[in-house]
Amino acid sequence: MKQNQNTGITKRYLLLYLICLFFSVLIFFFSIYYYSTYSIPDSIYLVSGEEQSFDFHLPVSAEITLESSVTNPPKEIIRTASNPSKTMTMVSYSDSPKKIQVNLHHPFSVISNTTGSYSMSCKLLGIFKFKEVQVHAVSRPKIIPCGIPVGIYLETNGVLIIGTGEITSINGQICEPALNLVKSGDYIQKINGNPVSDKQDVMEEINRSHGQTVLLGIIRDSEYIEIPISPVKTDRTSYKLGIWVRDNAQGIGTLTYLSVNNEFGALGHGITDIDTGILMKLREGTLYETKILSIERGISGEPGELMGVIQYKDRFQLGNIMSNSYAGIFGIINQTSHLQDYLKKNRWEDALSLNHAVETGFYQEIHTGTAFLQCELDGEIKQYSIEITDISKDKSSYKGIEFHVTDPRLLELTGGIIQGMSGSPILQDGKVIAAVTHVFVDDPSKGYGIFIENMLEQMER
**Kind of pairing between the strands at 43-47 and 128-138:** parallel
From the candidates 198, 201, 407, 443, which is the catalytic residue? Answer: 407
- 77-85 contact pairs (CB < 8 A, 24+): 77/51, 77/109, 77/110, 77/111, 78/102, 78/108, 78/109, 78/110, 79/108, 79/109, 80/106, 80/107, 80/108, 81/106, 81/107, 81/108, 82/106
Which residues sit opposite 302 in a β-bridge?
299
Is residue 117 part of the annotated active site? The answer reads: no
Tell me the one-letter amino acid at 317: Q
From the candidates 61, 112, 269, 445, which is the catalytic residue? Answer: 269
User: Cβ(270)–Cβ(326) under 8 Å?
Assistant: yes
Is residue 422 part of the annotated active site? The answer reads: yes
| Neighbour count for residue 252 (Cβ, 10 Å) | 22
Tell me the C-alpha distance between 358 and 400, whole Å. Answer: 21
| Neighbour count for residue 107 (Cβ, 10 Å) | 16
Is residue 275 part of the annotated active site? The answer reads: no
From the candidates 422, 424, 438, 445, which is the catalytic residue? Answer: 422
**Alpha-carbon dihedral of residues 168, 173, 179, 182, nearest 10 degrees?**
-50
End-to-end CA distance of the chain: 76
Would you name the residues annotated as active-site residues? 269, 407, 422
